[in-house]
Amino acid sequence: MTGREPAPSPVSGETRLALFDLDNTLLSGDSDYEWGQFLIDRGVLDRDEYEAQNNVFFEQYKAGTLDIHAYLQFALGTLARHTPEELEGWLAEFMEERIRPMIGGPALELVRRHLDAQDLCAVITATNSFVTAPIAREFGIPHLIATEPERAGRTFTGRVSGTPCFREGKIVRLHGWLAGLGRSLEAFADSTFYSDSQNDLPLLSLVKQPVAVDPDDLLAAEAARRGWPVISLR
């Protein structure tokens, strides 16, 4: 890791909260985008029909202009077209071929430092929980706050369940998750959030220790203006 990294507090016993964005933060790539590309390469999705639109949404995300509901209608619809058994098989291949190569030693070390300090740790990501649950497990992070795809039994409907975990929605989902644990953000002695993206400025502005990780240009400028730590996990 490089840059100024906040030192862990001496307080223990899950009195600190550590939140990790996933795509382009802990991962050296975007799992949501790569899932679509993986299905295209497998011939599951039509390249001409899907790839161009996937790229458009990805550029909108990077620019901070993404309509999350339009994107989720597009992305979650792919889950609804296939059986749970098919999806689980592809997901296992996706983890091996696309995700594990995007997990680096510095990211694993950062997570391990917080886990060893007995911090309450969670991945908080806009990418849906079907794709991200095994990634959180790969890092050993026990909690996942993600966009939830709606299911009818075991089958996906193609719709989102509840509030998408994106921009201000991350704050809504975080408060809901903490309330379910009988906790509140304000009660933690320390709260840290690691992210690469301007889209996470609402939550970065809320925690006690915002940390920009390999940030995009807008987040880098905002971090410099506010004096936030900037680190690299690459």
Q: Which residues have a catalytic role annotated?
A: 21, 23
Angle CA 27–96–132, to nearest 5: 50
Q: Would you call 229 helix, strand, or coil by DSSP?
A: coil
119, 109, 118: which is closest to 190 by C-alpha? 119
CA 88 – CA 92 distance, rounded (Å): 6
Are 72 and 164 a contacting pair, CB within 8 Å? yes
Tokens of 65: 């202009």
Are 195 and 203 a contacting pair, CB within 8 Å? yes
Strand partners of residue 213: 231
198, 199, 203: which is closest to 216 by C-alpha? 198
Q: Do β-strands 230-232 and 16-20 pair in parallel, antiparallel, or remain unpaired?
A: unpaired
